[in-house]
């Protein structure tokens, strides 16, 4: 079983932590990663493109001229597709681009992506984020201390890491994501993957959802804080 150094936010060693071989030490399956990422990007499409057919375009209800005797080709409507301003033949209509992806395939793609980053020594584990208050300068100092000085960074946080999320979110090269929203696409889009000891995944607790956005973390933590202030359950 492979292990990495457990770091503090100050960059000091706090021991070693084992990485699950089934999650961080498999042979990356490139075709599966491609299929899952393609499906995730397809699911993000709004699918709202639309064109009007000849029956939906305004005008063209009357026959433009009589059938015979004019010397012109017969026409039934000035909104036929071959007319300027006419309807579109076989044009796009609103549709869903979502693809069904098996959960086992989603997990395999995530394990493959994590294994690829671990093979490049780009997986870092911090014992916990100790931000007393949201402060971007502290986040910059922490990333520098643990060695993630260049390239994009994916920081995986738990639901209790609110100050850490608010500290990292102003950095353009940092993406913050919740543990349950970890996915292959975001792992592949970032050079460094930073976990806390609490969010370090194993093969048995990998999320199997495909689509995710980093904004959902902020929304849910804000809603949870509002519920606490009102004395209501989350």
Q: Which pLDDT score, from 0 to 100, does residue 202 have?
A: 81
What is the pTM assigned to this prediction? 0.78
Q: Which pLDDT score, from 0 to 100, does residue 227 have?
A: 52
With a pLDDT cut of 90, the percent of the chain lying above it is: 75
Q: Which pLDDT score, from 0 to 100, does residue 234 have?
A: 45
Give the CATH number, domain containing residue 104.
Answer: 3.40.1370.10
List pLDDT tens digits, range 108-140: 999 999 999 999 999 999 999 989 999 999 999
Distance of CA 137 to the CA centre of its chain: 26
79 and 185 assigned to the same domain: no
110 and 21 assigned to the same domain: yes
List pLDDT tens digits, range 138-166: 999 999 999 998 999 999 999 889 999 99
List pLDDT tens digits, range 176-193: 999 999 999 999 999 999
**Residue where a domain stops, chosen among 91, 114, 147:** 91
User: Which residue from 60, 101, 70, 61 is spatially nearest to 184, judged by alpha carbons?
Assistant: 101
> Domain range spanning residue 83?
51-91
């Amino acid at each position: 079983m492979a292990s990495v150094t457990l770091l503090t936010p100050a960059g000091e060693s706090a021991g070693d932590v084992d990485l699950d071989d089934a999650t961080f030490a498999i042979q990356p399956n490139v075709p599966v990663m491609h299929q899952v990422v393609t499906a995730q990007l397809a699911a993000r499409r709004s699918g709202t493109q639309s064109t009007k057919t000849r029956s939906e375009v305004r005008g063209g209800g009357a026959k433009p001229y009589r059938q015979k005797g004019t010397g012109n080709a017969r026409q039934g409507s000035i909104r036929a597709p071959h007319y300027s301003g006419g309807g579109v033949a076989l044009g796009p209509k609103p549709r869903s681009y979502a693809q069904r992806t098996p959960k086992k395939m989603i997990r395999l793609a995530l394990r493959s992506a994590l294994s690829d980053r671990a093979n490049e020594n780009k997986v870092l584990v911090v014992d916990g984020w100790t931000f007393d208050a949201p402060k971007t300068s502290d986040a910059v100092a922490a990333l520098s201390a643990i060695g993630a000085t260049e390239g994009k960074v994916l920081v995986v946080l738990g639901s209790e890491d609110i100050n850490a999320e608010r500290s990292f979110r102003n950095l353009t090269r940092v993406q913050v994501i919740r543990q349950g929203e970890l996915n292959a696409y975001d792992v592949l889009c970032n050079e460094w993957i930073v976990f806390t000891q609490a969010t370090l995944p194993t093969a048995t607790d990998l999320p199997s959802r495909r689509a995710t956005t980093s904004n959902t973390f902020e929304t849910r933590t804000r809603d949870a804080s509002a519920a606490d202030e009102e004395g209501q359950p989350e």
